Amino acid sequence: MYFEQKVNYRSCKATRIPMKNQRLIHFTKMEGCGNDFIVVFNPSAGAANALIRKAPSLCDRRTGIGADGLVFVGYSSMCDFSMRIINADGSEAEMCGNGLRCLGRYIRQNKLIDQDLIAVATKAAPVGVEMANEYIRVNMNAPRLSGSEIPVEKDADPIINEPVTIDDREFLVTAVSMGNPHAVIFAHELTDDLVLNWGRRLESHPFFPRRTNVEFVKVHSPHEISMRVFERGVGETMACGTGACASVVAAVLNEKVHDFATVHLRGGDVTVNWDGDREQPVFLAGPARQVFTGTVRI
């Protein structure tokens, strides 16, 4: 038995949504080791501000496009290109290693410049991006190791195995800035409790006045580590390029690895080179690819 309902479709009126103040923005979804971004090329100031306001909804993985953040690619008067990185919560980050690799892949596949090495202006500092092969290699500049530059609430240089306490639990933190702040903690095992519970709490600990990215690192050998990360303004991500760099820098400072290491992330592997000289740059190399393209109305 069933009920049949007759509908007079002629009596139904559609609701028209005003569109005069809305516009379509083209985007490219890209990822590097699972760290994914909504990449927008050369947005106007108004469009960029609208996208930033909508970042939490755009990055939502159930009701939006889904991403760890937004990447704005533009031209620069100082460098070849510029990059802005917006976290999923709408805050702006100073630097993003995986975002830079995605930027490099985007520029190469869209043939925006006919050269393999480009300079990119970021909020932290200009960086070099090399696109000569399958991997994208980034010169991430020299690490910053003094407390005031990272920053942390301690005037020391460097910050190695600094005790940071939450409730009754003490963590030994090696702090590094790769243009953005990182707290690296070495662990025997990388558990959900460490990352999702303690990482979340350490991110906003008063020791880090601008909050921090928190990396938990397991050392396998002098040239191999694993890392999980709770990213500032995002949560746990599949990968973090600056976090991989900071982890290797911290491991070198603690004499746990030598001058290069493969870093195993949840979304894949990257390689990081740093010779231990604080005046010398850190190099990050890894894959990046396009996932899909589309448009969004703002």
Domain containing residue 204: CATH number: 3.10.310.10
117 and 167 together in one domain: no
The answer, yes or no, to whether residue 14 has pLDDT greater than 70, is: no
Cα Rg for the chain, rounded, in angstroms? Answer: 21
Answer yes or no: is pLDDT of 1 > 50: no
DSSP string, 72-126: EEEE-SSSSEEEEEEETTSPEES--HHHHHHHHHHHHHTT--S-SEEEEE-SS--
- Residue 5, in any domain of the structure: no
Question: What pLDDT shows up at residue 20?
Answer: 55
> For the segment 31-41, what is each residue's pLDDT rounded down to a tens digit?
999 999 999 99
Active-site hit among 33, 102, 240, 245: 240
> What does the pLDDT look like over 224-245, one tens digit per residue?
999 999 999 999 999 999 999 9
At 145-169, the pLDDT tens digits run 999 999 999 999 999 999 999 999 9
Q: What are 263-276's pLDDT values in tens digits?
A: 999 999 999 999 99
In terms of Cα–Cα distance, which of 262, 252, 266, 256 is closest to 284? 262
Give the pLDDT confidence of 196-206 residue by residue, as tens digits: 999 999 999 99
Asked if the model's pLDDT at residue 133 lies above 90, the reply is no
pLDDT greater than 70 at residue 4: no
For residue 272, tell me if it sits in a domain: yes
Q: Catalytic: 59? A: no
| Residue 137 covered by a domain | no
pTM: 0.90
Same domain assignment for residues 119 and 174: no
Predicted pLDDT of residue 10? 45
CA atoms within 13 A of residue 141's CA, in its CB half-sphere: 20
**What pLDDT, on a 0 to 100 scale, did the predictor assign at position 12?**
41
165/258 same-domain check: yes
Residues of the chain with pLDDT > 90, as a percent, come to 90
Asked if residue 19 is part of any domain, the answer here is no
pLDDT at 285 > cutoff 50: yes
**Cα 288 to Cα 101, 154, 235, 255, distances in angstroms:** 6, 37, 21, 30
| 79 band by pLDDT with thresholds 50, 70 and 90 | very high
pLDDT in tens, 208-221: 999 999 999 999 99
pLDDT, average across residues 280-293: 97
Is residue 33 part of the annotated active site? The answer reads no
Q: What is the pLDDT confidence band of residue 9, given thresholds at 50, 70 and 90?
A: very low
- Low-confidence winner among 6-10, 135-139, 149-153, 259-263 (lowest mean pLDDT): 6-10
In this prediction, residue 2 carries a pLDDT of: 40
| Residue 168 backbone dihedrals phi, psi, to 5 degrees | -105, 15
The single residue of 59, 96, 102, 245 carrying the catalytic annotation is: 96
Please determine, for residue 55, whether its predicted confidence score (pLDDT) is greater than 90. yes
Closest C-alpha to 90, from 124, 62, 50: 50
Whether residue 144 lies inside any domain: the answer is no
**pLDDT score recorded for residue 183:** 98
As given in the structure block, the two tokens for residue 36 are 């994914």
211 & 272 share domain: yes
If asked whether residues 174 and 270 sit together in one domain, one would say: yes
Is 8 inside any structural domain?
A: no
CA–CA distance, 185 with 261 (Å, rounded to integer): 17
* 122 and 217 inside one domain: no
Q: Determine, yes or no, domain membership for 275.
A: yes
If asked whether residues 165 and 80 sit together in one domain, one would say no
**Domains: count for the chain:** 2
Query: Are 176 and 220 in a shared domain?
Result: yes
Average pLDDT over every residue of 164-183 = 97
Same domain, 211 and 269: yes
User: What value does the mean pLDDT of the chain take?
Assistant: 93
**Cis previous bond, 158, omega within 30:** yes
pLDDT at 11 over 70: no
How would DSSP label each residue in the chain? --------GGG--PPPPP-TT--EEEEEEEEETTEEEEEEES--HHHHHHHHHTHHHHH-TTTSS--SEEEEEEE-SSSSEEEEEEETTSPEES--HHHHHHHHHHHHHTT--S-SEEEEE-SS--EEEE-SSSSEEEE----B-STTTTT-SS--SSEEEEEEEETTEEEEEEEEESSSEEEEEE-SS--HIIIIIIIHHHHT-TTSTT--EEEEEEEEETTEEEEEEEETTTEEES--HHHHHHHHHHHHHTTSS-SEEEEEETTEEEEEE--S-TTSPPEEEE--EEEEEEEEE-
What is the average pLDDT across 93-102? 96
- Residues 54, 7: Cα–Cα separation, whole Å: 38
Say whether both 260 and 210 belong to one domain: yes
Q: Which domain holds residue 70?
A: 24-132+289-297
Does the residue 32 lie in any domain? Answer: yes
Q: Do 126 and 212 reside in the same domain of the chain? A: no
